[in-house]
Structure 1
Amino acid sequence: MPISLGRQALSRLTLFLTMAVTALALAACGPQEVVFAPEADVRAAMYTHSGPPELTLLTMISNRSGRGGHTALVVNGSQRVLFDPAGSWFHRMTPERHDVHFGFTDPQFNLYVRYHARETFHVVIQRLTVTPEVAEMALRAVQQTGPVGPARCARVTSTVLSGLPGLESIPVGWYPENLMEAFGRLPGVRTEKVFHDAPADNTAELQRQQQMATGR
């Protein structure tokens, strides 16, 4: 009898530890309220970038552990949007619908990177030029995904990417760093890293950004 109880307690402890480790590994993509901006706001904000059709994968990497904390995707097609699944960033000039931020200009791109790059995380920016057809497929896919639940940022982004022509080699998975590495193996990807020594708590940075108007 004592042996049986010991095994039961050990089993429960193992389950608890497994759940705790998984939660910590995936905690960066936190739960967010469902946001659905009015049609008039979305149309007014729509922005067409002069650059080539492009997919830009953004990965937030811990400076301490090297693990991925968050994944986002910028799609540049007939318009440029930010797909920020379960993300915490927002700006009053970029109306949001189900984790898709419309009117994502260069200044707003910089604000997004500045919000995430701090003493605890750096941002890996990976750009891939694609055909106009692939860019439009990606635009439709991110808008049709719907609001993303907690800890699913890499899972949903990898699902979107793996469904595009030429990106079928991207494995669907849960971890931002794995997606980053797979995306980096695609031919033609250009990579840069952004480091910043801002405080780990970026709440004040987000509040500061809300007072800024962003031009085009």
Structure 2
Amino acid sequence: MISRRALVFGLPLAALGACSAPQTSSPPAMIATKRFAGPGPRVLTLFTMRSTSSSGGAHSSLLIDAPSQRIIFDPAGSFRHSTIPERNDVLFGVTPDVEAYYVSYHARETYYVLAQTAQVSDAVAEQAASLALTNGPVARSFCTTATARLLRQLPGFGSLPQTFFPNTLASAFGALPGVAAREWREDDPDNKALALAEIAMQI
């Protein structure tokens, strides 16, 4: 259980750049060993990190709960932990605890996390996972562009805008039928190193 104090609110809601990022990968054996597939239902959850002072969007990422495995597509993200495997901006072995660590890492006194969830078919979830796994590393500042590009290739999500702006994508995603949302707010200091250290004590 996360010890950091979180406030959770239920809120019902109605072209990549030419620069490249370095390839990264945990050992294949670690990725295989940590693979996790949840029981369903199959969902896509768009995470948007927002400023607590202005609600300005700072980062976008996507949780993909597919039948084969549960992963987070975290383009140009900064979340790293030695026990959580990653390959080219994809985090593997995303159990509910790992998801909670990921959210808690981003939520602090200066930022909160908006999570918007859409239920999808097995086929759509698997397509999303495949697109994330083959996307490759994303250059800094292209997180929302990469997330939007992936989503727009999926049935039912083609109307989403291709945008650089996290809040623009979140607004459009939230307007899709059946999307539900939650917010995470925490009062921890604005120090990601401290957040990782606290998470390390719990894994």
**TM-score under structure 1 length normalisation:** 0.82
Q: What is the identity, as a one-letter code, of the residue corresponding to 1:150?
A: R
Tell me which protein shows more helix as a share of its residues. Answer: 1
In the other structure, the counterpart of 1:123 is: 113
The structure 1 residue matched to 2:198, chosen from 187, 208, 214, is 208
Task: Determine whether 1:180 maps to 2:170.
Answer: yes
Secondary structure at 1:195 match in 2: strand
**TM-score under structure 2 length normalisation:** 0.87
Once the 2 structures are TM-superposed, how far is the Cα of residue 210 of structure 1 from its aligned partner?
2.5
Secondary structure at 1:161 match in 2: helix
Query: Aligned partners of 2:201, 2:181: CA distance in 1, in Å?
Result: 31
Q: Is the 8 A contact 1:32 1:88 kept in 2?
A: no
Query: Aligned partners of 2:178, 2:115: CA distance in 1, in Å?
Result: 14
Task: Determine whether 1:43 maps to 2:16.
Answer: no
Larger RCO, structure (CA 8 Å, separation 6 or more): 2
Query: Aligned partners of 2:182, 2:163: CA distance in 1, in Å?
Result: 23
Q: Is the 8 A contact 1:73 1:83 kept in 2?
A: yes
Q: Is the 8 A contact 1:32 1:87 kept in 2?
A: no
Query: Aligned partners of 1:105, 1:143: CA distance in 2, in Å?
Result: 18
- Farther off after superposition, 196-205 or 120-129: 196-205
Once the 2 structures are TM-superposed, how far is the Cα of residue 212 of structure 1 from its aligned partner?
2.8
Aligned residue-pair number: 183
Q: Is the 8 A contact 2:36 2:95 kept in 1?
A: yes
Tell me which protein shows more strand as a share of its residues. Answer: 2
Once the 2 structures are TM-superposed, how far is the Cα of residue 34 of structure 1 from its aligned partner?
3.4
Q: Is the 8 A contact 2:47 2:116 kept in 1?
A: yes
The structure 2 residue matched to 1:111, chosen from 92, 96, 101, is 101
Query: Structure 2: which 5+ residue stretches go unaligned?
Result: 1-19
In the other structure, the counterpart of 1:135 is: 125
Once the 2 structures are TM-superposed, how far is the Cα of residue 192 of structure 1 from its aligned partner?
0.7
Secondary structure at 1:156 match in 2: helix
In the other structure, the counterpart of 1:15 is: none
Deviations 1:158-190 (A, max 9, x none): 000011001011111101111110100110101
Larger Cα-atom Rg: 1
Cα RMSD, aligned residues only? 1.4
Q: Is the 8 A contact 2:23 2:136 kept in 1?
A: no
